[in-house]
Amino acid sequence: SLPYASAKSGILGMTRGLSEAYSPRRGFHGITCNAIAPGFVHTELTKKVFEDRDRAQILADKTLIGRNSIPEDLVGPAIFLCSQASGYVTGQTLTVDGGFGSLGCP
């Protein structure tokens, strides 16, 4: 949908812009700005979709992993981005979608 695509594009651009705004070029040190782009996650907000088992299965089948995401799937990537292991990563969006995008799905 147009609102979803607009919001997603805005987050991607904001992530890049904030990484530059809080960079050593601007007098800041040790700050990185990144984002996580999750796939379809089973949460309270998506509960109605998951109540429709056929629809939820169609979404799961569009991933390489073969299932929809749960919030715990995002913990590792978040820890990585909060750790020194990602100290040279900034302005990036880490896609955690079970391979949904790799299959050409939007």
Tokens found for residue 2: 């147009």
**Residue-wise burial string across 89-101, b where 16 or more C-beta atoms lie within 10 A, e elsewhere:** ebbbebbbbbebe
Instruction: Compute the mean pLDDT over every residue in the chain, rounded to the nearest whole number.
Output: 94
- Known catalytic residues? 4
- Residues 39-87: tens digit of each pLDDT: 999 999 999 999 999 999 999 999 999 999 999 999 999 999 999 999 9
Q: Is the pTM of this model over 0.85?
A: yes
Q: How far is it, in rounded angstroms, from Cα 92 to Cα 6?
A: 18
Residue 16 has pLDDT above 90, yes or no: yes
Who's near 90: CB < 8 A, 6+ residues apart? 19, 23, 32, 33, 34
